[in-house]
Structure 1
Amino acid sequence: LWPRIVARTDQIYQMAEEMKPKFEGAMKVLCSRLRIKNVVFGGLKDPVRIHEKALDKYLLDFDDWEKNCVIPEACVLDMLRCRAVCPDGHSMLKLLEALGELIDKTIRGVSFLLIH
């Protein structure tokens, strides 16, 4: 089972590891601008947990999963994550508005969506 999990999560990890410092830097800058001082970053989700979550939540979302056209692991969205502890509701609203402005981005020719 482990070789299968590695094969299905390796590229996800490569991208997440590359994006992690950029994500953390961007969130620190954003929160600093909004005067949110407490930002806690989580580690990357464990490969076994990615596989479990993918099977639990996304396995039946695609008819062609057996052909590996779309692997359910690719649907796990919370590889990079953080918790911004907002001091009040106004700060939380400002943070959500700022994140909403970042929805559709392109990095090094690859388009992606930020989901909050």
Structure 2
Amino acid sequence: MRTVVCAEPGHMTLEQRDSPSCGAEEALLRIRRIGVCGTDIHAYGGNQPYFSYPRVLGHELAGEIVEVGSEGDPDLVGKRAYVIPYLHCGECRACRHGRTNCCQRMQVIGVHRDGGMCDTWRCPSII
């Protein structure tokens, strides 16, 4: 699949990568739309302290669900979806008190983990 990679600050590449497989608690999303925002521009410019390179950017994404894992809802296949890019641990004090936005181990798609600038993206099926 085609994947846009920020290899290092100031250098983007278009790579061919294997299509992702779908784990039990995951879904595959065919990317239909993706936004480019200040976070991506700062990563490209090397002004984003949370990034490591190379990184697939893109945390503002939407698409079509093409596959769900064995723990997912098969009725979701073919549905449109958008992604909330913040992944919380579910275990820290903030998460246990329902304040997942304050997670101590928060990870952001396209920042701490590879994002959606690709043809097909693997995501948690809790979308």
TM-score by structure 1 length?
Answer: 0.26
Greater fraction of residues in helix: 1
Bigger relative contact order, structure 1 or 2 (CA pairs below 8 A, ≥6 apart) = 2
Of the two, which has the highest radius of gyration? 1
Greater fraction of residues in strand: 2
